[in-house]
Structures are given as C-alpha cells and as structure tokens.
C-alpha cells in the first residue's frame, strides 16, 4: 500500500492487516483527522500550505513527503486509491477524472511512437475510437482481435507489441477472455496485459490474481453504483503506476476530492450490491431466454453461455449487465425501449436503477458499420443493466417493451 501523504495530521485508524475483502472494502485507506470523524473527510482544496519556504522547497524536491497541490495528490483521492488498490490486490492505484482518462493515462504513460497494441474488438465503443483515431495519430498502431480466440491474439502480436487490452466480460455481449492465458501470452512477448474490470469489479473478479499487469475501471459504473459521478482508476505494481502517476501529475486528468469521497462510499456497499445485481440479472436472463420473441440472451451466468465454465472459474459472480437480441430490427428495438415505463433510457450502467439502451445507436454508435457487424452490435440488440428495484417490477416493465414492439 502507498504511504500516507498526510501522516503529519492523520490519526491512525483501526488496524485491518490480514482482513478479508468485505472488510477491506469498508475500511482500507481510511485516515482520520484530529476531529476524529467516523466517515472519511473530504479535502476540497486546490493546494496545501507549508510552514516555511524551506519546507515548501523540501516538499517540491521530494526530500520530504506531503501534499503540494491537488493535481498531484489529495488526501480524499488517496484514501480512494489505497482502498481500491487493496481490493484489487495491487500495489498502487492512481485515480483519474473518468474511465476514459484512466485508459488514456495508461496508454500515454506506457506507450511511445512505433509501439503496437493488440486490443479486443469487443470493447466499449469509445475505447475503440480512442485507439483507432487518437493513439494512431501519435504513431501507436492497434490491431483488433476476437476476444475469445487466443490464436487471433497470438497472430496479431509483433516485435513492437507492448500492450494487450481487453474487457472481460465485454460490453455489451458479455464475452469472456481467459485472463491467465492472455497474461502468459503477453509476458512471453514482453508486453503488458491491461484488463478493464468495469463489469465485474473486484467484488467478483480480480484480474491481477490471474497474472494481468494493469486493471482499469470506469468508477462511474459499479464502484459508485448510484450514477452520481464520473471517475476512473488504474491499478498495478509500483513501477507501472509511477509512470501513470507521472503522466497524470503533468497532464492533469485527476479525480476531484468530492468524487473520490462518493466513490469511497460506493465501495463500502460494493460487495452487497454486486451480489444483488447478479442475482436479479440471472433471473431476468433466464426469463428472457424462455421467450419466443427473444433470439439470444448474452449473460455469463446462463448455463447456455458458451464460456459458462470459464466465467465460473474466473468470476465469483456474473454482474448485472446483460444484452439480448429480439426478433426484428432497429424499429422493434426502439419501440421496445420506448415502451418501458420506469426503466431509465440511458447509456450508463452499474446503477441501482435499471437502465436500458440500444448499443448500435448509442454506446457503439460511432463504430463503422463494418466494425459493428464484426463486434456483433446488431440493430436488434438491447442492453440492460439490471438494478436493485423489485425483480417482479423489472420484468413487468420489460413485458411492456415486448408489447410495445408488437412481439407479444
Ligand atoms: C467497459 C467500459 N470501460 C470504460 C468506460 C469509460 O468510462 P467513463 O465513461 O467513466 O469515461 C465505459 C463507459 O461506459 C465502459 O463501459
């Protein structure tokens, strides 16, 4: 764990060495001020003061540890970083302004002109655009491959490959990569493996324990869990994270202390929420699977999922996101979505509120038709992030969607 940067003013909080995951999620990283507050303090300050000019110089030179400016470090942000690092089993975490800022900071910090990335085709649409359009502009080429096909990863790797990047389960089709197998492949080729752990969170899957080098999160999703704040985080070993931190300090896509505080509160209920999301999502997936008007349901918790065995090995739960293809095309999918009464039509996921979206025209709308076709983002695909409302109410609302689309 990183050393406290405000140890001068902090009171040590209960020792949780050797604690289990659920205790870590509630208590790790907590530093108490002299007010002895029970809930973590927020430090909404841009800069920090020094007792003298010589102390300022010593802090700036790195001779003495401590806060300088909140683009560099902030105690609330550090509490969040320490907690999520402990939850993922990493040495250090660096919090960022968004999930995309986490991906960007990792890539800009670790890659240079002439380097090559191998990326799963089944990633969040904006991640795809980031690699194809922006990294390419700076001379970093990306080859996109089939997430589940190890041979396509192997054959895409060349002597300049420095990074393998994936999401597992993927958004929105819930495909799964064998993290241990891909970590081995990356390391055989002196490359790093980065896993976007957005869908499962460390409550259900810890990629570092399977050999991944870097874990990335959109904290916006389940880490917050209530759709309040945008944020991200990167977790890895000290050496890698020093590079990512160095970029952040210079370029500035840092997390705000307020958002870090909200995420800290989110982490405290993460395990409970992920269990509840997984339970309801499985029930919804099974219900959808029995409908004649549904062509396919994509959810890792279904025994019919082609990688169910791998999901059970790698994950301790299946998360709350699923997608399904209905009979028809865009017209039916849009009518379905317009027919629901309380489910929120929004592209976010990982909220207590169930959300529904049409990936082909929202989250993945910027992909070319060819890329959509290759990634399985069809016009009749609908994604839902199952929330914590009553399961019966969620099903009733989805039923209105089927009726509105003329499918029942
Ligand atoms: C899997 C995944 N990764 C990354 C992101 C980007 O995160 P943010 O919106 O916080 O920048 C998203 C956003 O939807 C996502 O679903």
- Whole-number Å distance, alpha carbon 404 to ligand 1 midpoint, is 30
Tens of pLDDT along the chain (408 residues) come to 344 444 555 666 778 889 999 999 999 998 888 888 999 999 999 999 999 999 999 999 999 999 999 999 999 999 999 999 999 999 999 999 999 999 999 999 999 999 999 999 999 889 999 999 999 999 999 999 999 999 999 999 999 999 999 999 998 999 999 999 999 999 999 999 999 999 999 999 999 999 999 999 999 999 999 999 999 999 999 999 999 999 999 999 999 999 999 999 999 999 999 999 999 999 999 999 999 999 999 999 999 999 999 999 999 999 999 999 999 999 999 999 999 999 999 999 999 999 999 999 998 888 899 989 988 999 999 999 999 999 999 999 999 999 999 999
- Decide if 142 contacts 92 (C-beta within 8 A): no
**Residue from 211, 205, 215 nearest 240 by CA:** 215
- Whole-number Å distance, alpha carbon 47 to ligand 1 midpoint, is 29
- Whole-number Å distance, alpha carbon 351 to ligand 1 midpoint, is 13
Nearest-CA residue for ligand 1 atom 6 is 99
Q: Residue 350's pLDDT is what?
A: 97
- Whole-number Å distance, alpha carbon 152 to ligand 1 midpoint, is 25
- Whole-number Å distance, alpha carbon 4 to ligand 1 midpoint, is 29
Whole-model pTM: value is 0.94
- Decide if 25 contacts 83 (C-beta within 8 A): yes
Q: Ligand 1, residue 123: give the atom nearest the CA.
A: 1
Q: Ligand 1, residue 347: give the atom nearest the CA.
A: 14
Phi, psi for 235 (deg, rounded to 5): -130, 140
Sorted by sequence, the CB contacts under 8 Å of residue 113 that are 6+ apart come out as: 138, 139, 140
Q: Ligand 1, residue 232: give the atom nearest the CA.
A: 10
Q: Ligand 1, residue 199: give the atom nearest the CA.
A: 1
d(CA 194, CA 150): 16
d(CA 339, CA 347): 17
Number of alpha helices (DSSP H) and beta strands (DSSP E) in the chain: 16, 12
Q: Is 64 helix (H, G, I), strand (E, B) or coil?
A: coil
- For a mutational test of ligand 1's pocket, the pick from 124, 168, 223, 365, i.e. the residue with the most ligand atoms closer than 8 A to its C-beta, is 124
- Whole-number Å distance, alpha carbon 406 to ligand 1 midpoint, is 33
Phi, psi for 167 (deg, rounded to 5): -120, 140
d(CA 235, CA 95): 9
Please count the other Cβ atoms lying within 10 Å of the Cβ belonging to residue 331: 12
- Decide if 336 contacts 402 (C-beta within 8 A): yes
Q: Is 330 helix (H, G, I), strand (E, B) or coil?
A: helix
Provide the greatest CA pair distance for the chain. Answer: 75
d(CA 209, CA 206): 6
Spell out which residues line ligand 1, taking CB within 6 angstroms. 98-100, 124, 127, 167, 171, 196, 198, 218, 220, 230, 232
Nearest-CA residue for ligand 1 atom 2 is 124
- Whole-number Å distance, alpha carbon 38 to ligand 1 midpoint, is 32
Nearest-CA residue for ligand 1 atom 9 is 99
Q: Residue 4's pLDDT is what?
A: 45
d(CA 24, CA 1): 12
């Amino acid at each position: 764990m990183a050393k406290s940067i405000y140890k001068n003013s902090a009171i040590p909080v209960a020792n949780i060495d050797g604690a289990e995951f659920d205790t870590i999620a509630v208590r790790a990283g907590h530093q108490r001020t002299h007010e002895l507050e029970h809930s973590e303090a927020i430090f909404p300050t841009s800069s920090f003061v020094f007792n003298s000019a010589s102390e300022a110089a010593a802090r700036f030179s790195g001779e003495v540890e401590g806060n300088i400016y909140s683009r560099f470090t902030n105690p609330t942000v550090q509490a969040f970083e320490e907690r999520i690092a402990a939850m993922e089993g990493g040495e250090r975490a660096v919090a960022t302004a968004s999930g995309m800022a986490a991906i960007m900071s990792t890539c800009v910090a670790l890659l240079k002109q002439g380097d090559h990335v191998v990326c799963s085709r089944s990633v969040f649409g904006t991640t795809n655009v980031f690699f194809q359009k922006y990294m390419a502009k700076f001379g970093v080429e990306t080859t996109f491959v089939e997430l589940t096909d190890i041979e396509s990863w192997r054959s895409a790797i060349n002597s300049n490959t420095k990074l393998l990047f994936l999401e597992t389960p993927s958004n929105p089709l819930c495909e799964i990569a064998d993290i241990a197998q891909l970590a081995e492949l990356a390391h055989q080729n002196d490359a790093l493996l980065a896993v976007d752990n957005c869908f499962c969170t460390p409550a259900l899957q810890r990629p570092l324990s399977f050999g991944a080098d870097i874990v990335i999160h959109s904290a916006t999703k389940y880490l917050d869990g209530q759709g309040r704040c945008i944020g991200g985080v990167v977790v890895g070993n000290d050496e890698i994270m020093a590079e990512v931190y160095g970029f952040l300090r210079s370029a500035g896509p840092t997390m705000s202390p307020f958002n870090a505080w909200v995420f800290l509160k989110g982490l405290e209920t993460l395990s409970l929420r992920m269990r509840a999301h997984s339970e309801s999502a499985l029930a919804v997936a099974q219900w959808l699977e029995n409908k004649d008007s549904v062509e396919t349901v994509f959810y890792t918790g279904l025994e019919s999922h082609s990688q169910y065995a791998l999901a059970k090995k790698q994950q301790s739960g299946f998360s709350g996101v699923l997608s399904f293809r209905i009979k028809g095309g865009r017209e039916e999918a849009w009518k379905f979505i317009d027919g629901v009464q309380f489910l929120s039509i929004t592209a976010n996921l990982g909220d207590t509120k169930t959300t529904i979206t049409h990936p082909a025209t929202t989250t993945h709308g910027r992909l070319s038709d060819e890329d959509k076709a290759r990634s399985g983002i069809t016009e009749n695909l609908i994604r839902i992030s199952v929330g914590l409302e009553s399961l019966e109410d969620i099903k009733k609302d989805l039923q209105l969607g089927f009726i509105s689309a003329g499918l029942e």
